[in-house]
């Protein structure tokens, strides 16, 4: 889902509103360090996994490329 805002609180509010219909949330295309603050807060406040693609999804790829 794409949302038309760059405001941190609006992003967090939107994700919290749609969370009940998802099993996990992947946050993309938000500039650092804002994205890290958003992900950290959502991880603390939501009962489902919250990921940031650059931080979480590339780590296994990097690890696999080193072996």
Average predicted confidence (pLDDT) for the chain = 85
Domain ranges, ordered by start, for the chain: 26-67
**Residue 62 corresponds to which tokens in the numbers above?**
């990097």
String of DSSP letters for 1-15: ---S---HHHHHHHH
The tally of CA atoms less than 13 A away on the side-chain side of residue 16 is 13
For the chain, what percent of residues have pLDDT higher than 70?
A: 79
Per the model's pLDDT, the better-predicted residue between 16 and 30 turns out to be 16
Predicted TM-score of the model (pTM): 0.78
**Alpha-carbon gap, residue 66 to 15, rounded angstroms:** 34
pLDDT tens across 31-54, in order? Answer: 888 999 999 999 999 999 998 876
Mean pLDDT, range 1-24, rounded to an integer: 95
């Amino acid at each position: 889902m794409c949302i038309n805002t760059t405001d941190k609180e609006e992003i967090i509010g939107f994700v919290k509103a749609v969370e009940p219909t998802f099993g996990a949330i992947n946050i993309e295309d938000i500039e650092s360090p804002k994205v890290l603050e958003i992900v950290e807060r959502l991880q603390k406040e939501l009962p489902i996994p919250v990921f940031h693609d650059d931080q979480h999804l590339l780590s296994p790829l990097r690890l696999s490329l080193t072996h």
